[in-house]
Structure 1
Amino acid sequence: MIPWAKPTLFGKEERYVQEALRSTWISGGPFVDRLEKDFCETLQVPFAAVVSNGTAALHLAYLALGVGHQDEVIVPGFAYQAAANIAILCGARPVFVEVDPATWCLDPSALESAITPRTRAIVPIHTYGNVCDLTAILSVARSRGTPVVEDVSESMMSEWEGRQAGTIGTIGTYSFHATKTITTGEGGMVVTRDPELDQRVRLFRSHGMLRERRYYWHEAPGHNFRLTNLQAAMGCAQLESIQEIVARRRAVHAMYRRELDGESGVTLQHFDARVMPVLWALALKLDPGAFPQGRDRVIDQMRELDVECRPGFYAASQQPIYDSLALPVCEDLARNVISLPTFPDLTEELVHTICQGLRKLKR
């Protein structure tokens, strides 16, 4: 079976984790500080706070911005909906907007009508390795004085106009899940250029305490969203290999493009010329005329061919926990998008096998 994703490990991960174990620093420790420092250097940002997972990163971003009861948070209707779920848990209301039918990212033209006096944040979710139109989004956000939280869980190291995604808005949040660009098993990061926001993230990350000020003194009600030294050790090793990971992911993307550009019956996700993507997953939209059996049946048939695929995200308007108006573009993508195996160790031969399998299923 060709898996949909798997982490790429380089050997230093085991050595660094053993080093952390031998040091007996297994909760907090020096690898945590090192990972934050290395992340800042890699992304060229002044502040980075490592956390327990990407969802915790979003939660801390909202808390740092003061998102709370009766506030509104604007999110795209086609995406992994951690950003919406955390808004609800903060007492806010997610306001879903359409995505661009070509890029599948938040449509900036939908923002003006969605912003209200209650809007506390706009959350562009950079989907599948793509980057939202940050120039247009930030233009609207700045005109309204609204913070922008970039969810970069799927697009670490992707660039917008030569700048790292996640470093352009008010706050950027990252995931280090096993399927992501780098992994610590579970983990994440919050980055910002604002020292006050960074301090608030760190405060809420650790029970509302800042130990450099005073031990066991709670300045705010907070969580324990800290990452362990063991996990951070793995992250440090991964980050040392980030350029190789990026190069391999871009090579896999190029392989798929050579196979599928111009292929009848499928439409690949579009990347704006201003985007330099690092693919999380190769996603494409199936034409129901070419695949009348439907996307879900195609996934089953690919599994029969020993290829694991996944469906696109369900539209917010299709899910019972959300209060959303109809979102036709999101709903169309939800019905027809499929993502193919994508990880750095994929070879040209395997990519060809995957694409040939998909071709066999066309009618």
Structure 2
Amino acid sequence: MNSIPWWYTEIGDNEKNYMLTAFNNKCFSMGPYTQEFEERISELMNVPYVTLTNSGTSALIISLLSIGIKPGDEVILPALTWIATAQAAALLGAHVVLVDCLPRLPIIDIEGVARKITKKTKAIIPVNLNGRACDIKRLKNIAKENNIYIIEDVCKGMFSQNNNCYLGTIGDIGCFSMGMISLLSIGYGGFLVTKNIDLHNKIRLIRDHGVVRNPEEYKYLGANYKVSDLLASIGLGQLDKLQEKIKRVCDIYKIYNEALSENSKCNLLPVDILSGEVPLYVEAYSEQREDLINYLNVNNIGTSRFHLPLHSARYLDSPDNFPCANELSKNAFILPSGPSQSLDNVYKCAELINHWK
């Protein structure tokens, strides 16, 4: 029996043809394909400034450098997300301040954010995990009252919308990933979006060591966060299939949601598709998670457990307890998903879960 992977996306002939054209045109460094990709994202997301970079983590680091994060500044972020969000701030010497997520929902508790703000708070990073929007209107009001930047981490929320605006375009800067567990995948990659021309100009320089060229000036602290046109060309090929990808991941969520609606031992974590949220993958919750994962594994079906809560990273030195993050980390997991996942695989997985005793 062939195994069903927990995640499946394809980079196929269309992307290969784009990349071979870039190769034949000797576009090995950053150039016209990168520019074309940035322009297409700008048009699709209705945001004026886009900067392609080599990973979502790099996008987060660049964003924090662009707003002047320095040692001793505080950066608020959710206690349950991928560690890269916290590492980006910690690597710059900032103090990471964690806030619990909502009960059985892996997005930041906005009221918890308000309680954690101090005079040292420089930025808030809401993570739009799996395409979910937090209460961004309330968050923007809090940030405005306290003169704090909002950096949206949309690495797992690309092309999700809130009130007809794409997530990532609502705060000061949005950071996206194009790694393999992404709606658009190029291997490793990412990009930033902003509506602020001053931030955009800094971001562009920081991507290239913070250097002004011709005449040369070392203006900002930066590094080589550039990306090859070969990878950018793969991104262009992926964009050709964007609507197909969005439809597939939404269809997968709908299938699981309907099939498991009466299952008392395995429930989905909700994603609001009707409001424009795009479920990159499908998360389930079960207090018997390990037994269910083992059962699915015996039947050659892959799953992926939720990440550890960030306060388990000792180097972040977070003294608080986060019960909602702990609960989700212990009991939540990801079912077979992805923009190229077979719907037959999804139906099979759901059927097996419903037969699990």
Cα separation, 1, equivalents of 2:137 and 2:189? 29
From 271, 290, 311, give the equivalent of 1:317: 311
Cα separation, 1, equivalents of 2:334 and 2:268? 10
Q: Which amino acid aligns with 2:301?
A: V
How much does 1:360 deviate? 4.1
The answer to whether residue 217 in structure 2 is matched with residue 223 in structure 1 is no
Q: How does 1:240-319 map to 2 (within 5 A)?
A: 240-271=240-271, 275-286=275-286, 288=287, 291=288, 295-319=289-313
Where 1:86 maps in the other structure, the secondary structure is helix
State the partner residue of 2:40.
Answer: 38
Are the counterparts in 2 of residues 103 and 130 from structure 1 also a CA contact under 8 Å?
no
Q: How does 1:1-363 map to 2 (within 5 A)?
A: 1-9=3-11, 11-211=13-213, 214=214, 216-271=216-271, 275-286=275-286, 288=287, 291=288, 295-324=289-318, 325-362=320-357
Where structure 1 has 5 or more consecutive residues not aligned to the other structure, the ranges are: none
TM-score (norm: length of structure 2): 0.95
| Residue range with higher mean Cα deviation, 19-28 or 56-65 | 19-28
Are the counterparts in 2 of residues 103 and 271 from structure 1 also a CA contact under 8 Å?
no
Are the counterparts in 1 of residues 90 and 316 from structure 2 also a CA contact under 8 Å?
no
| Residue range with higher mean Cα deviation, 167-176 or 138-147 | 138-147
Are the counterparts in 2 of residues 131 and 275 from structure 1 also a CA contact under 8 Å?
no
Cα distance change on mapping 1:179 and 1:268 into 2, 3 Å? same
Cα separation, 1, equivalents of 2:316 and 2:75? 13
Cα separation, 2, equivalents of 1:141 and 1:313? 28
* Matched residues, number: 354
Cα separation, 2, equivalents of 1:14 and 1:108? 43
Where 1:172 maps in the other structure, the secondary structure is strand
Q: Which amino acid aligns with 1:21?
A: F
Q: Which amino acid aligns with 2:313?
A: Q
Are the counterparts in 2 of residues 317 and 331 from structure 1 also a CA contact under 8 Å?
no
How much does 1:344 deviate? 2.0
Cα separation, 2, equivalents of 1:123 and 1:186? 22
Q: Which amino acid aligns with 1:170?
A: D
Cα separation, 2, equivalents of 1:301 and 1:266? 13
Q: Which amino acid aligns with 1:301?
A: Y
Cα separation, 1, equivalents of 2:355 and 2:272? 30
Q: Which amino acid aligns with 2:17?
A: R
Are the counterparts in 2 of residues 129 and 281 from structure 1 also a CA contact under 8 Å?
no
Q: Which amino acid aligns with 1:350?
A: N
How much does 1:347 deviate? 3.4
Cα separation, 2, equivalents of 1:351 and 1:181? 18
| CA offsets 1:164-196 (integer angstroms, 9 cap, x no match) | 010001100000001200011100000000011
Cα separation, 2, equivalents of 1:273 and 1:297? 30
| CA offsets 1:307-334 (integer angstroms, 9 cap, x no match) | 1101112112333232221001110111
Cα separation, 2, equivalents of 1:23 and 1:177? 25
**RMSD in angstroms over aligned alpha carbons?**
1.6
Cα separation, 1, equivalents of 2:154 and 2:9? 18
| CA offsets 1:106-127 (integer angstroms, 9 cap, x no match) | 0111111111111111000011
How much does 1:215 deviate? 5.5
Cα distance change on mapping 1:255 and 1:274 into 2, 3 Å? closer
Are the counterparts in 2 of residues 120 and 147 from structure 1 also a CA contact under 8 Å?
yes
Cα separation, 2, equivalents of 1:273 and 1:3? 24
TM-score (norm: length of structure 1): 0.93
How much does 1:10 deviate? 5.1
Are the counterparts in 1 of residues 285 and 332 from structure 2 also a CA contact under 8 Å?
yes
Q: Which amino acid aligns with 2:352?
A: G
Cα separation, 2, equivalents of 1:204 and 1:61? 9
Cα distance change on mapping 1:21 and 1:185 into 2, 3 Å? same
Q: Which amino acid aligns with 1:358?
A: I
Q: Which amino acid aligns with 1:141?
A: A
How much does 1:104 deviate? 1.7
How much does 1:272 deviate? 5.2
| CA offsets 1:244-283 (integer angstroms, 9 cap, x no match) | 2111211111111111223211232133588422112100
Where 2:217 maps in the other structure, the secondary structure is coil
Cα separation, 2, equivalents of 1:261 and 1:141? 38
Cα separation, 2, equivalents of 1:247 and 1:60? 32
Where 2:316 maps in the other structure, the secondary structure is coil
Cα separation, 2, equivalents of 1:25 and 1:10? 20
| Residue range with higher mean Cα deviation, 257-266 or 87-96 | 257-266
